[in-house]
């Protein structure tokens, strides 16, 4: 069984477009600093000083607040790798010294328990001790790679060794109430080659569903499905419970499966993916319809106005589908990654980078707005770490083959088996489907390129050095091109990008008689601020005409919908763009009248049929 592909690190990718490059700049200049400021003002950072005995005072905030600090440091580390900033690095160094001072002699670290109830350590599986520890490990690995400094990394290893000393075969049973530690331990294993970390990750996965977990929660009763602890991992076929926890769990399973080549784990992941993508995912790639459990209910339960779609869950979808793509080389996973990235993830932060969505509804009565911060601030800090690492999802490699998964104007240096290749992409994606890929190899052998053909694209053309490729070869959703490349050779890929009218399958009762529109990877919505005169008359017709217009002021492409039958015109904007201007109502799904259903695409999750 193949071990799959290897992702090209974002440190080898530099964006030069007006889309991701701009978002990374705003993240560095605005979002990271806001997150640091809020963590300081809310006591998240001083909690470590108190735990270390450096200052006096009581613990402030929710018991898992340490994790927010770790995620911000991770975001800073990623940003530093491509955009050095001595002032930002100094801020992180100061915080890391406080964290290190708070670590206890045996390696334990949780400022909540150190300050409030040291005698209750490891007594409550839902108190996020390992969840916080996992985020510490991810941040520490990132910071070591960014700066070469080892203080934080040493803290992470001591903490992991503490976990290993307590839990595992012949020691204590444990089921983390909030998954995250599993994928963090695998990252630490890759960094250190310490097999104990891999073994502990596998142990924690296989502990689920055997009655070792507490299973209860203060307001959820004895709902073990909330924690994905109802049945063993190897028997899972259907997504359940808290959406973010599920995504972290599946990412951890994928990481272990990639190392161990565990066919049973892979089969479980494929069944779970089918269940999520085809029955439990919104058109934006968002998941988790219920506010009650921040997660899943029943198949095809996808309400619009009450859609929860937590931003963290969308980021989790990116993590999981990225891993599935690397294991399989199948573009369907990258299709979902792209969908959720351009819609469900970046909707979580304002264009200015200073306000955030926790939940992301498909419809709003005008009362849904981004906030400056949340008591539970997992989503702002989650955004702060994924934006600077977007380049991780662009390319994958295997010996002398390169997979191109995402399209954005950028330069990349990619190392292969017998040399390296520089790739320059020139494009106005996602606003335009024309992509120029220029190849500058040092590899002497034939190089195979696999260019993802997105699931939304129904027609393509391609050329090399302006000579059309007459016979197109496809493999798992990729255009396969094998060529004896010379420096400067250019592929032109044209991805047809019309406006598409989309319907849900009939089982999604909420969308009966409704349709949505998308163009390329972007789902569009209708805001009241653009349609104040006729928002209540919003509808699509069979003869609706779509006019694509560039809005240079906001750097977006808008869609004008002309309803010739009713003599009305509406304007739609990308979903991720909404609630950045005047407040008002919003809809993704709108009424559809006079439709011949055979003329529309049907949305089932991962596929447009």
> Which are the catalytic amino acids?
294, 378
Place of tokens 């993802």: 452
**Is 52:101 a contact under the CB 8 Å cutoff?**
yes
Is residue 68 within a helix (H) or strand (E), and if so which, with residue range?
Answer: helix 66-82
d(CA 312, CA 381): 9
CA distances from 1 to 164, 388, 399, 562 (A): 30, 33, 16, 53
CA distances from 75 to 202, 295, 392, 502, 519 (A): 27, 25, 13, 36, 31
- The beta-strand segments (E) located in 165-245 are none
d(CA 586, CA 572): 10
Question: Which residues touch 404 (CB under 8 Å, ≥6 apart)?
Answer: 394, 395, 423, 437, 449, 450, 451, 452
DSSP single-letter state for residue 28:
I
For strand 601-603 and strand 499-504, is the pairing parallel, antiparallel, or unpaired? parallel
Q: Coil, strand, or helix at residue 421?
A: strand
DSSP single-letter state for residue 306:
T
CA distances from 524 to 158, 306, 343, 430 (A): 48, 18, 9, 13
Angle between the N-to-C axes of helices 86-102 and 32-41, in degrees from 0 to 180, rounded to the nearest 10: 40
Is residue 500 within a helix (H) or strand (E), and if so which, with residue range?
Answer: strand 499-504
Rg (alpha carbons) of the chain, rounded to whole number: 24
**Is 137:160 a contact under the CB 8 Å cutoff?**
yes
Beta bridge partners of 586: 364, 527
d(CA 243, CA 422): 38
Structure tokens at 117: 């109830």
Count of positions (residues) in the chain: 609
**Is 361:306 a contact under the CB 8 Å cutoff?**
yes
For strand 556-563 and strand 499-504, is the pairing parallel, antiparallel, or unpaired? unpaired
**Is 590:492 a contact under the CB 8 Å cutoff?**
no
| Cα 45–Cα 46–Cα 48 angle in degrees, nearest 5 | 75
Beta bridge partners of 561: 546, 570
d(CA 520, CA 140): 37
d(CA 107, CA 186): 19
């Amino acid at each position: 069984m193949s071990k799959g592909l290897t992702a090209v690190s974002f440190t080898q990718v530099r964006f030069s477009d007006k889309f991701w490059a701009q978002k990374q700049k705003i993240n560095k200049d605005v979002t990271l600093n806001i997150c640091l400021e809020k963590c300081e003002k809310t006591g998240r950072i001083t909690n470590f000083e108190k735990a270390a005995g450096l200052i006096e005072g009581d613990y402030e905030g929710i018991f898992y607040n340490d994790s927010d600090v770790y995620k911000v440091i991770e975001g800073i580390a990623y940003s530093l790798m491509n955009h050095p900033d001595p002032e930002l690095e100094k801020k992180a160094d100061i915080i890391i010294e406080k964290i290190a001072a708070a670590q206890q002699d045996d390696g334990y670290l949780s400022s909540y328990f150190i300050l409030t109830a040291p005698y209750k350590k490891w007594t409550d599986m839902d108190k996020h001790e390992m969840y916080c520890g996992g985020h510490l490990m991810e941040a520490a690995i990132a910071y070591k790679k960014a700066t070469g400094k080892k203080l934080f990394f040493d803290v992470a290893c001591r903490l992991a060794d503490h976990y290993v000393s307590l839990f595992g075969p012949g020691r204590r049973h444990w089921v983390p109430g909030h998954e995250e530690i599993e994928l963090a331990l695998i990252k630490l294993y890759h960094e250190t080659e310490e097999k104990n970390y891999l073994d502990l990750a596998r142990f924690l996965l296989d502990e689920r569903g055997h009655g070792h977990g507490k299973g209860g929660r203060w307001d959820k009763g004895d709902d073990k499905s909330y924690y994905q602890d109802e049945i063993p991992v190897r028997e899972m076929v259907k997504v359940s419970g808290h959406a973010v926890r599920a995504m972290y769990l599946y990412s951890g399973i994928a990481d272990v499966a990639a190392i161990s080549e565990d066919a049973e784990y892979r089969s479980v992941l494929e069944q779970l993916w089918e269940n999520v993508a085809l029955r439990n995912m919104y058109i934006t790639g968002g998941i988790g319809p219920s506010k009650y459990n921040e997660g899943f209910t029943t198949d095809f339960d996808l309400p619009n106005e009450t859609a929860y779609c937590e931003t963290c869950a969308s980021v989790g979808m990116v993590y999981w589908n990225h891993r599935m793509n690397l294991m399989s080389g199948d573009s369907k996973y990258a299709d979902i990654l792209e969908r959720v990235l351009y819609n469900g993830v970046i909707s979580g932060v304002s264009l200015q980078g200073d306000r955030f969505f926790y939940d992301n509804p498909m419809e709003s009565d005008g009362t849904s707005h981004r906030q400056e911060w949340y008591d539970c601030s997992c989503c702002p800090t989650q955004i702060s770490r994924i934006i600077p690492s977007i380049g991780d999802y662009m390319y994958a490699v295997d010996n002398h083959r390169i997979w191109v998964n995402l399209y954005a104007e950028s330069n990349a240096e990619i190392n292969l088996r017998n040399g390296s290749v520089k790739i320059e992409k020139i494009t106005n994606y996602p606003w335009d489907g024309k992509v120029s890929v220029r190849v500058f190899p040092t590899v002497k052998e034939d190089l195979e390129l696999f260019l993802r053909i997105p699931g939304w694209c129904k027609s393509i053309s391609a050329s090399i050095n302006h000579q059309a490729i007459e016979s197109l070869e496809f493999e798992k959703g990729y255009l396969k091109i094998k060529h004896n490349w010379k420096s400067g050779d250019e592929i032109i890929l044209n991805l047809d990008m019309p406006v598409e009218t989309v319907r849900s399958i009939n089982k999604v009762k909420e969308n009966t008689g409704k349709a949505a529109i998308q163009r390329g990877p972007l789902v569009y919505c209708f805001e009241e601020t653009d349609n104040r005169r006729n928002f209540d008359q919003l509808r699509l017709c069979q003869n609706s005409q779509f006019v694509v217009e560039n809005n240079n002021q906001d750097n977006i492409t808008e869609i004008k919908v002309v309803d010739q039958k009713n003599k009305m015109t509406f304007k739609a904007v990308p979903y991720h763009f909404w609630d950045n201007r005047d407040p008002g109502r919003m809809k993704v799904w709108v009424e559809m009248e006079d439709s011949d259903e055979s003329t529309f695409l049907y949305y089932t999750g991962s596929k447009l049929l």
